[in-house]
Amino acid sequence: MVPSMGRRGAGPAIGIDLGTTSSCVAVWQHGRVEIIADDQGNRTTPSSVAFTGTQRFIGNEAQNQVVMNPTNTVFDVKRLIGRRFSDPSVQNDMRSWPFKVIDGQGDRPLIVVQYKGDEQQFTAEEITSMILVKMREIAESYLGCATDDVVITVPAYFSDHQREATKNAGAIAGLNIVGLINEPTAAAIAYGLHKRSNSETNVLIFDLGGGTFDVSVLTISQGVFEVKATAGDAHLGGEDFDNRMVSHFVDEFKRQHRKDISGNPRKLRKLKIACEKAKRTLSSTNRATIEIDSLFEDSDFSSTITRNLFEELNDDLFTKCADTVKKCLRDAKMDKSSIHDVVLIGGSTRIPRVQQLLQELFDGKELCKSINPDEAVAYGAAAKAAMLRGDDHENLHDMLLLDVAPLSLGLEAGGGNMVVVIPRNTVVPTKKERVLSTPVHKPRACIKVYEGERCTTRDNNLLGRFELCGIPSARDSSLEINVCFDIDADGILDLSIYDKTMGKEKNRITVTRDMTRLSKEEIEEMVWRAKKYKEEDEEHKRKIEAKNELEKYALKMKSSVKKVEGVIEQTISWLEATNQEAEAKEFEAKMKELKGICYSLVVEMQ
């Protein structure tokens, strides 16, 4: 349960697309969605947070100093949130991250940075909360009022744990999360509001971003957005394509210079930035050049990459995307011919090979590119936020979202088998119960809840271990324990466990959840820490602004005083040269001129 924050902003609810590489904020105003730009005019903000000896940077400012400060600049946190430290994907990502991640209590990953001369550790939820605070600030400065209510987007394929962790990040940021929305569903709203068709439309949303990949098949009819199936990979996106290119060039650098840069985070970061740029270039041309002066030990690096080679390096990943589309269509029980529109969302859908594979899969069908791939998700989130806040605009009137659970949820049975309680693609919210028997002589029991599609729990994702103790002794030979799975509209599971035989005494069973999730107390502590960091940031900002003002004033005064000094010197020289020869009116004119200049200095001094 997320603690409530107290502060209530009067402003409209906002929608935040919390992306792996960048984030976007939007608001529903005057009957339409507006994407909110920051004070520099940027409509998306890098999802990066940096720490230095004196201050914290979030967004563009963090991104701008990344090459100088790679070990204390945190990015890709969406790839970490809601995952265990031992998760193979975390272990794999850590190899390419210049910042340090350690194994915290209960297999929880902790990000370690140097901040103001001290080592600080942060959970992924805390770093995410900092990005959310920044997005809220961008919105508030545009709206001119405080706003707390927010809908945050999550990949459709996010697990229960990742969803809960994202919600906790919102709470740490002091936001009131009125709902989460799956990214492809949000994009479908943007599509639906844009196209406005009266007939039933089947759309496939293909959403390939910086770090996550989702496919959803929806039927849109008279304002009802019904998700038929969803599939994806919460760990596949542009970052992976960049990493493949980085590995290629690390090898190339070894060949060219017999030097290995793979152990140097700063140099790797520099190379990765160049690779990401080259990847974008390859979306419009067939060849891209990488040139980095003194990349390593005074050796410059220069090389080229063709679009063909880039496609070869990522061939298996692109094929995986196409296979996921086929799986989603199978799950939706729809033939590809019944899809009216294939909608491209996310920056990585600009890659020509990705588009080509999709088009081939749909027998040459034109792909829908009329929706802005970088803004559609925030657009849909803002519309949902307005809907949940009760905006009665006609476009939102009959809007109904029917989303699904992306992964099957179940319990471990004997022999490590997975017993599915809620199959994947079940419409949410939903509630299902399962009765378990336990021998009476055991006052303790352990219930393990998993998500995933494999038959053995070993191959699925453990959501939680629930240790039950204080089970009341039963009259019969075995005791029946009811396990109730309750998934809310945000896709988050609430599990309640009680003794069926002694129904009223359910409270006597103590349930211990696992340690990876944040407790209410920990969230409260993080809320406090977040406030402290924000106050420190504001104090630092005030200090810098005051220093700059003083410096500006001192320099201005110095130049004005010099100007006045010059005029005084000139007047004295003139007096000496003219001696008594000049007329009274000339002396008076000189006096007027000097007084005027001295007076303007006094005015400037105010």
What residues are labeled active site?
17, 78, 183, 207
Cβ proximity of 454 and 427 under 8 Å: no
Nearest distance from C-beta of residue 65 to ligand AMP, angstroms: 20
Tokens standing for residue 412: 């471990």
Minimum CB distance to ligand AMP, residue 278 (Å): 10
Nearer to ligand AMP, 44 or 460 (CB): 44
Strand order of the β-sheet with 445-451 is 417-422, 409-413, 445-451, 461-469, 510-512
Of 237-245, 294-302, 325-333, 473-481, which segment contacts ligand AMP by CB under 6 A?
237-245
Q: Which residue is nearest to ligand AMP (CB)?
A: 238
| Of 410, 26, 357, 10, residue with least CA distance to 176 | 10
Among the listed residues 238, 406, 452, 464, the single contact to ligand AMP using CB under 6 A: 238
User: Helix (H, G, I), strand (E, B), or coil: what is residue 297?
Assistant: coil
User: Position 564: which residue type?
Assistant: V
Q: How would you classify the pairing of strands 201-208 and 341-345?
A: parallel
**Interface residues for ligand AMP in 205-234 (CB under 6 A)?**
209-210
Nearer to ligand AMP, 349 or 438 (CB): 349
Of the pair 24, 445, the CB lying nearest ligand AMP is at 24
Closest distance to ligand AMP from the beta carbon of 200 (Å): 28
Closest C-alpha among 282, 200, 217 to residue 248: 282
Q: Which range in 15-23, 89-97, 227-235, 460-468 contacts ligand AMP by CB under 6 A? A: 15-23
Shortest Cβ 285–ligand AMP spacing (Å): 11
CB contact burial 196-220 (16+ within 10 A = b; e otherwise): eeeeebbbbbbbbbbbbbbbbbbbb
Q: Please identify which residue in 48, 314, 348, 516 interacts with ligand AMP, judged by CB under 6 A.
A: 348
Q: How far apart are the C-alpha atoms of 102 and 27, rounded to whole Å?
A: 37
Name the minimum Å distance from CB 510 to ligand AMP: 42
Query: How far apart are the C-alpha atoms of 296 and 264, rounded to whole Å?
Result: 9
Position among 15, 19, 232, 406 found at the interface with ligand AMP (CB under 6 A): 19
Site string for ligand AMP, 249-288 (x = CB under 6 A): ---------------------------x--xx--x-----
Q: Which of residues 429-468 bind ligand AMP (CB under 6 A)?
A: none
- In the region spanning residues 59 to 118, those forming contacts with ligand AMP, defined by CB under 6 A, are none
Q: Which of 22, 63, 162, 176 binds ligand AMP (CB under 6 A)?
A: 22
351 lines the binding site for ligand AMP (CB under 6 A)? yes
Distances (CA, A) of 407 to 414, 415, 491: 21, 22, 10
- Tokens representing 270 are 């520099």
Site string for ligand AMP, 154-193 (x = CB under 6 A): ----------------------------------------
The strand pairing partners of 341, in sequence order, are 203
Three-state DSSP class for 61? helix
Of the candidates 101, 78, 106, 81, the one whose C-alpha atom is nearest the C-alpha of residue 91 is: 101
CB of 184 to ligand AMP, least distance (A): 12
Tell me whether residue 579 is exposed, middle or buried, using C-beta atoms within 10 angstroms of its C-beta: 0 to 12, 13 to 18, 19 or more.
Answer: exposed
**Identified binder of ligand AMP from the candidate list 347, 380, 452, 464, rule CB under 6 A:** 347
CB nearer to ligand AMP: pick between 375 and 490: 375
Which is nearer to ligand AMP, 325 or 396 (by Cβ)?
325
DSSP 495-552: EEEEESTTGGGGGGSEEE--SSSPPHHHHHHHHHHHHHHHHHHHHHHHHHHHHHHHHH
Q: Which of residues 369-428 bind ligand AMP (CB under 6 A)?
A: 374
Cα 273 to Cα 505: distance, rounded to the nearest angstrom = 59
148/233 with CB nearer ligand AMP: 233
Shortest Cβ 262–ligand AMP spacing (Å):
21
Least distance to ligand AMP, CB of residue 376, Å? 9
Degrees, nearest 5: CA angle 446-449-450: 140
Binding site for ligand AMP (CB under 6 A): 19-22, 209-210, 237-239, 276, 279-280, 283, 346-348, 350-351, 374
